[in-house]
Structures are given as structure tokens and as C-alpha cells.
A and B are shown apart, each in its own frame.
Chain A
Amino acid sequence: EAQVTQNPRYLITVTGKKLTVTCSQNMNHEYMSWYRQDPGLGLRQIYYSMNVEVTDKGDVPEGYKVSRKEKRNFPLILESPSPNQTSLYFCASRPGSSYNSPLHFGNGTRLTVT
């Protein structure tokens, strides 16, 4: 089944403890991205990647890092999480070269930073 898989689904951590949220897609998509969703603010893009070894900042990149060493994986790294990064996070992918292709989203990771 074609899908975008995020892990973990739920994560509770403390301020300053480094964490990684994984994202993997099995559709051979070039484009991958991370979003955070907060009440009243909709979805805001954190980082995106057009292909392997190519990443760019989205709307709200501060406090986050990403890497794209393989086409299928796009982990989101929080080096020193803070409470304002408590949010619902979504990973998405789509074919980079395919015109008009929609985004495929994972089911989200709910992160709580205390």
C-alpha cells in the first residue's frame, strides 16, 4: 500500500532533550516536507526537500533540522526542544517531477514538550 509513515504517533519529552521524528514514504517521491499544525493557525511548513541532499526552509524552520540522505526518508530533528514546539506534526510527499500531483500526508505525530 502506498503510504507515508511517521513514527512515533505520540511523543512526550522534556525541554532540551534531543529527539527525532521519522518519516518514510514508499512511493519513490522526490519531494518531501514537514508541517506543524496548531489550533487556529492551520498547517505551517517547517522544511521541505526537492530531492536527496536538497533541503530548504519553509515558513517556520526555527528550532528544527532535517536531512535527506535517502529518497524515502526525511527525518525531523529537534536538537533542543522547547514547550512552544508542542504541536501536531505531519510529513508529506509527492512526485517532484509530476505536474499537478497532490501531497500525500502521514497520520501525524503529536509531540508534547514539558
Chain B
Amino acid sequence: LAKTTQPISMDSYEGQEVNITCSHNNIATNDYITWYQQFPSQGPRFIIQGYKTKVTNEVASLFIPADRKSSTLSLPRVSLSDTAVYYCLVGDVRGGGNTPLVFGKGTRLSVIA
């Protein structure tokens, strides 16, 4: 089961690009990398998912190097509303087989005006 390691917290000013890196040295061949965002008193919300190279959607980009032992979530031009906790999840999203999906401890991003 791939364990993930993320920075505990990060600060950024509004308008800046924020990059949050997640380490997952034991990632398995069938594992995908998924990032979630969580606001206080709400459940986590899906942001982006990828397997290798680069994935981009309307809110973020995900960079995954060839060895897949880490990944970087990139948030362009953050605003105050991006203040949240961001979780990196690594697992076989096709069903997990008989293994549970394990979230890391998350990165608390604080955006400052």
C-alpha cells in the first residue's frame, strides 16, 4: 500500500501559483494519483487525477515524473477561496482490490491577501 508524504502546511499570496508536492515512493503499477480539496465542515472534493506525465483541467494541473515516485499539484493564480486542505491519494481506483484507500495527512494551504 503506497504511503504518501506531503508538507503539513503552505502559505501563498493571492495571484501566485502554488505547487504542492506529494511523495509516494512505493507506488504500484496499477495505482493512480488523485488529489482532493477539503474546506472546513465539508467532505473532500475531487480536484484532479493522473497516472503519468501531465494532466490539466479547469482548476489545476498535475505533474507526474517518469518514475512516478512523486507528483505535484499546481494551482494557478490562487485566490482566498483556495484556502483549504489538499490531500494526495494513491491507490488502485478501479476498485482497490481487497486493499483500502489510504489518505495522507494533507497540506493546509493558506492564501493571504
Could you say which residues of chain B place their CB within 8 Å of the CB of A43? 44, 87, 103, 106
Is B49 part of the contact surface with A, judged by Cβ < 8 Å? yes
Interface size on A, residues (CB 8 A): 31
A45 and B101 within 8 A (CB): yes
A101 and B43 within 8 A (CB): no
Nearest Cβ distance between residue A8 and chain B, in whole angstroms? 14
Interface size on B, residues (CB 8 A): 23
A102 and B34 within 8 A (CB): yes
Considering the chains assembled together, what is the distance between the CA atoms of A105 and B103 in angstroms? 13
Could you say which residues of chain A place their CB within 8 Å of the CB of B87? 42-43
B contact patch SS: loop
Knowing A43-B87, A43-B103, A45-B100 touch, does A50 contact B95 (C-beta < 8 A)? yes
A contact patch SS: strand
Considering the chains assembled together, what is the distance between the CA atoms of A99 and B42 in angstroms? 25
Partner of A99, one of B45, B93, B98: B93
Considering the chains assembled together, what is the distance between the CA atoms of A45 and B44 in angstroms? 13
Please report A residues at the B interface, Cβ cutoff 8 Å: 4, 31, 33, 35, 40-45, 48, 50, 56-59, 90, 92, 94, 96-97, 99-108
Known: A43-B106, A102-B93, A103-B101. 17 other contacts (CB 8 A): A40-B105, A42-B103, A42-B106, A43-B44, A43-B87, A44-B103, A48-B96, A50-B95, A56-B98, A57-B100, A59-B102, A94-B93, A104-B46, A105-B43, A105-B45, A107-B42, A107-B43
